[in-house]
Amino acid sequence: MGGGLIEQLRDIWAGWLQFGVGDSTRWLFLAIDVIVLGLVIFIALRAFNTRRTLAYLGLIGVAVAILITTAYLRLPGLHLFSQLALIVLVIGYPIYFRERWQNLFGRAGAPGSPQLGENSPLSQVWLGVISLVSSLMITFVAEGINARTSELPGQVKLSAANVPEGMSANFGSVSGVSAIIRAPRDAWSSIKPESFTASVDVGNQAEGTYDLKVAVNTTLQNVEVVRVKPTRVVVTIEPVIKKTLPVVVKFSGQAGDELVPDKPIVDPEKVEVTGAKSVVSDLTQAVVQLNLGGETNTIETKLSVVALSPSLLPISGISFEPSEVFLRVPLVKAGQHKTVGIKPVITGQPASGYWVKTVIIDPSVVRVTGPVDNLEATTEIPTAAISVDGLSQTAKLTTALDFPSGIIPTQALAKYTATVEIAKTTATKSITPEIIYDGLSPSLKVVSINPAQVSVIISGESLILEPISGPEVKLKLNLSLFQSPGNYSVDLKNSDFVLPQGVGLVSFLPSAISVTLESK
């Protein structure tokens, strides 16, 4: 009993308390239930607001709490004790100590029994708080007895409705949404994301980007969608275009008897792809993927056509005509083996003020085989695209290798590790420093200096250099050696320049300044 109740409480927490009631109007009925039940509890507590009756009810509450806790923690001894305590308090005490039990609840006229309203330990405010909390707990427990409110396992695929003809809806990186649903407990085992639909209503709007509300529906009986995450998505409406692409074969696995695939024959050699302009315009090839599994004879098969992203993942939302091609792959003896290096392919930009210092692939080489001509032309194997977008510190990422057609690894690894070292960008900047006359005699004044300005080149991290202008860099011109009017030449040294923290001095011009001093 206790374990089942704990599971119900978990479902209630996941459904009602953690995620809320969302867009459902069910909260109105829930509020009415809580308020009415709270009033009933308040009246009952007010009628029995004495120390002895509250202590008795408190003991029962403690026993129930121990019963639930011990069932969850699997403590059989304490669990049995709490069961016996409840039996004694609820059944044994009223039967075997009937007169005391009646006196406890203030039987009218009973000698020594407390009178209602006397010796009340709780104020009206505390009674109200206890009633409200108890009402909430009882209501939520009742909500979880026969029904379960929780997150739907898996995401619901997102689609667009009322898209103008000749246009398509692009959701970017969002492919599906999560949903919080409420359903009978015995129905949860058969509930799947495929039983739900998630859509946004484009409303035949023209090309552009829109922020639209997501609606999730289902045809299942007695199933209610409580909340959707996210509730809104950004949708880009753009033209649908077509493009003709060559078909390339990608091999994985290995054939038998040290055989390797020779040049494949694809029919047709080109296919037409249809999809959103932003997706199709970047495509350069269509791909069929053939997994070798120990074959020893020429392979003849039909395979579906896909397009791969720079990360070698299939791109959704596009279609091919035809959707399948015929593939004939002769198998020939491997010419030889060859060890080649791995070339990292980097995409994206690190965070502002940072750059990619090095990329180390582990392992750094791969042993490949294939027909002699293909093998001789292969000098390196590129990785799938490694995204460094937004990186501001060194990171270890996983990647795969993009083997050219006809080349296969002798012992392929599912994933390779790319250690991307990120460093702060260093730069130089030319500025004009502020000149300060250091050690000038009180009886003298500077009439002129020649040249009037000094050009300084400083270096440092881009983020530090960017806001620096002339006044942040000072040139202390040492005039302490000159105590009389005249023209003097002052040699400049690195130590004469005062620089902000993290900034270095590269060079300065001129190396000396002519100063004219006069009496005040």
What confidence category does residue 246 fall into, taking pLDDT thresholds of 50, 70 and 90?
very high
* Whole-angstrom distance, CA of residue 7 vs CA of residue 487: 93
Q: Residue 100: exposed, middle, or buried by beta-carbon count in 10 A (0-12, 13-18, 19+)?
A: middle
In this structure, whether the domain defined by 242-331 belongs to CATH 2.130.10.10 is answered with no
Q: Which residues contact 26 (CB under 8 A, 6 or more apart)?
A: 224, 226
Q: What is the pLDDT of residue 9?
A: 53
Convert the pLDDT of each residue in 192-204 to its tens digit.
Answer: 888 899 999 988 8
Neighbours of 51 (CB within 10 A): 12
Q: Topology of 151-237 in CATH?
A: RNA Polymerase Alpha Subunit; Chain A, domain 2 (2.170.120)
Q: How far apart are CA 430 and CA 276, in angstroms?
A: 47
Q: What class, spelled out in words, does domain 427-519 have in CATH?
A: mainly beta
What is the pLDDT, as a whole number, of residue 1?
43
pLDDT tens digits along 287-316: 888 888 888 888 889 999 998 887 778 888
pLDDT in tens, 167-188: 888 887 788 888 888 888 777 7
pLDDT of residue 11: 53
pLDDT (tens digit, 9 = 90+) per residue, 47-61? 666 777 777 777 877
Mean pLDDT for the chain overall: 80
Architecture of domain 336-424 in this structure:
Beta Complex (2.170)
Delimit the domains of the chain by residue range. Answer: 2-149, 151-237, 242-331, 336-424, 427-519
pLDDT at 272 (0 to 100): 93
Q: Are strands 365-370 and 336-347 parallel, antiparallel or unpaired?
A: antiparallel
How many angstroms separate the CA atoms of 501 and 311, rounded?
41
Q: How buried is 378 (Cβ within 10 angstroms: 0-12 exposed, 13-18 middle, 19+ buried)?
A: middle
The predicted pLDDT at position 389 comes to 86
Predicted confidence band at 270 (pLDDT cuts at 50, 70, 90)? very high
pLDDT at 321: 92
Q: With contact defined as beta carbons under 8 Å apart, do 396 and 436 qualify?
A: no
- Per-residue confidence (pLDDT) for residue 49, from 0 to 100: 67
Q: How high is the pLDDT of residue 2? A: 44
Selection from 81-95, 319-333, 359-373 with the highest mean pLDDT: 319-333
In this predicted model, what pLDDT tens digit does every residue of 452-493 receive, in sequence order?
889 988 888 777 888 887 788 999 998 888 888 888 888 888
pLDDT for 347 equals: 86
Domain 151-237 shares a fold with domain 427-519: yes
Residue 17 pLDDT > 50, yes or no?
Answer: no
Above 90 in pLDDT, residue 78? no
Q: How does residue 20 score in pLDDT terms, banded at 50, 70 and 90?
A: very low
Q: Is the pLDDT of residue 448 over 60?
A: yes
Strand positions, DSSP E, 363-478: 365-370, 380-387, 395-399, 408-409, 416-424, 426-431, 434-438, 444-450, 455-461, 474-478
* Reduced 3-state DSSP string for 212-247: EECEEEECCCCCEEEEEECCEEEEEEEEEEEEEEEE
